[in-house]
Amino acid sequence: MANQLRGNDLRQLGFPEGRAIGLALAQLQRKHLKKLSQTDQLTLLKSLLTDPSTYLTHLDWSHTAAALLPAPSRHIALTERKPYAVFGPEYIEQGAIHQMETAMKLPVTVAGALMPDAHQGYGLPIGGVLATDNAVIPYAVGVDIGCRMALSVFALPPKHLEQRVQEMRKLLLDNTRFGNRQGFQRGQKLDHAVLERDEFNDIAFLRNKQGTAAEQIGTSGSGNHFVEWGIVDIIDPQNELGVLVGQYVGLLSHSGSRGLGASVANHYTKLAKDVCQLPAEAQHLAWLSLESEAGQEYWAAMNLAGDYASACHHQIHQRLAKALGERPLAKVENHHNFAWKEHLADGREVVVHRKGATPAGAGVLGIIPGSMTAPGFIVRGRGNADSLASASHGAGRAMSRTRAKQELGEAEVRRYLEQHGIELIGGGVDEAPQAYKDIHAVMQSQQELVDVLGSFTPRIVRMDGA
């Protein structure tokens, strides 16, 4: 094209040698920017070059802007490791320990803790809790922002579930959707106020995300996400649920913020890596200052994704309660893969990241699931300062997905489920119960973190898959 800019044009404008030129030229090939006249393109690039910091959160120019910032200010060395608490160390693999050790060397790190279900992830290990000083780390929150548990307890006896397996199975099939396939049809969709939030317009990056969010609302992800019927057993007569001691039918769901959360995580992680360049072993722990525009944008987008994840669960439980013809006696909901502004015991305000860890402040209720063949637990937090008021978010993986696929056969897993009386819809061998740690051992390791109010034992489970 006659009006196509070249590297020399950018050099004449004042662009330094390096990746900023290549990034800028690549961006100009995008359809909506290609339509601009050469004069308009040069005006845009001059504005970018004059003050790159104002473009750090721009949908088109964030990475080019980051590359234009002075290099010395973007290279950050690790510091001496700070101490941190480990719960159930005998159940935690070395890879997760190594990742936590690295996280505790960040200059912005204040405190940390590792939960007994911990295993290796990206950046902060799954089951890692990290407190930082006025900084948020997208990969210490996680890709599935606001992933959470939600439980509804119904005034139905366990025999209702045991005697109507096929009917309850059909309720799951008719009223849940999983993975990236088509969501609910137009006439089946439910509205929610979260889809009208200002952030979809105020944050440039989110302006084209509202459609996907509307399409996927009320659905569940793939992997270890599930919706399941089971038996709730309340054992604490002083429970805050207002439910008498005894057994009930329960509905438990586990899922997150779907494509919305994933896109936010990936965009701001790349941006954080551009503006906060760390040694190779710590690169996934790049942070954004909450005083920066990018940090404030991520914080707002993260909270939107968390509220969206909650809305998805509310719709799942709303649909199934209506199909069941029952109103729940009580509900419990908690999230992980999130960051909160909290205060340490000394009164200092920090940003607490819980990546696969359950909030367990004093009196805070939550759910810690086991596996398909092991119970989960309804818990009340004890506000333990050493754990940064956190607990495990489940049993935790004993096998990676790859290893589970290599070592476990589908027929073997199906037999195991049948032996335990579990009806499974979908799922794969990578989510087999044998791939998870012993939930009872995990709970034993965190007695000082939570009190148990009751349990949830799965019976009919739906996951992604045929």
226 marked as part of a ligand binding site: yes
Structure confidence by residue, pLDDT tens digits, 131-148: 999 999 999 999 999 999
Report how far residue 291's alpha carbon sits from residue 103's, in angstroms, rounded to the nearest whole number. Answer: 21
Q: What's the pTM value of the predicted model, to 2 decimals?
A: 0.86
Residue type at 58 in one-letter notation: H
In this predicted structure, what is the pLDDT of residue 3? 63
337 marked as part of a ligand binding site: yes
254 marked as part of a ligand binding site: yes
Among the listed residues 259, 260, 339, the one whose alpha carbon sits nearest the alpha carbon of residue 299: 339
Report how far residue 152's alpha carbon sits from residue 105's, in angstroms, rounded to the nearest whole number. Answer: 41
Q: Which residues of the chain fall short of a pLDDT of 70?
A: 1-3, 70-74, 182, 466
375 marked as part of a ligand binding site: no
Whether residue 301 contacts residue 203, with contact meaning beta carbons closer than 8 Å, is answered with yes
353 marked as part of a ligand binding site: no
335 marked as part of a ligand binding site: no
Report how far residue 150's alpha carbon sits from residue 176's, in angstroms, rounded to the nearest whole number. Answer: 14
In this structure, are strands 246-255 and 330-335 parallel, antiparallel, or unpaired? unpaired
454 marked as part of a ligand binding site: no
233 marked as part of a ligand binding site: no
Q: Which residues are identified as catalytic?
A: 393
Give the count of alpha carbons within 13 A of 227, CB side only.
30
128 marked as part of a ligand binding site: no
Domains and CATH numbers, the chain: 7-69 (no CATH), 148-462 (3.90.1860.10)
HEC profile of the chain: CCCCCCHHHHHHHCCCCCHHHHHHHHHCCCHHHHCCCHHHHHHHHHHHHHCHHHHCCCCCCHHHHHHHCCHHHHECCCCCCCCCEECCHHHCCHHHHHHHHHHCCCCCEEEEEEEEEEECCCCCCEEEEEEECCEECHHHHCCCCCCEEEEEEECCCHHHHHHCHHHHHHHHHHHCCECCCCCCCHHHCCCCHHHHCCHHHHCHHHCCCHHHHHHHCCCECCCCCEEEEEEEEECCCCCCCCCCCEEEEEEEEEECCHHHHHHHHHHHHHHHHHHCECCHHHHHHCCEECCCHHHHHHHHHHHHHHHHHHHHHHHHHHHHHHHHCCCCCEEEEEECCEEEEEECCCCCEEEEEEECEEECCCCCEEEECCECCECEEEEEECCCCCCCCEEECCCCECCCHHHHHHHCCHHHHHHHHHHCCCEEECCCHHHCHHHECCHHHHHHCCCCCEEEEEEEEEEEEECCCC
395 marked as part of a ligand binding site: yes
In this predicted structure, what is the pLDDT of residue 214? 92
Q: How far is CA 413 from CA 230, 426, 430, in A?
A: 20, 12, 10
Residue with tokens 């005697």: 163
Classify each residue of 161-174 as buried b or exposed e, where b means 16 or more C-beta atoms within 10 Å of its C-beta: beebeeebbebbee
413 marked as part of a ligand binding site: no
73 marked as part of a ligand binding site: no
In this predicted structure, what is the pLDDT of residue 342? 97
The pair phi, psi for residue 66, each rounded to 5°, is -60, -40
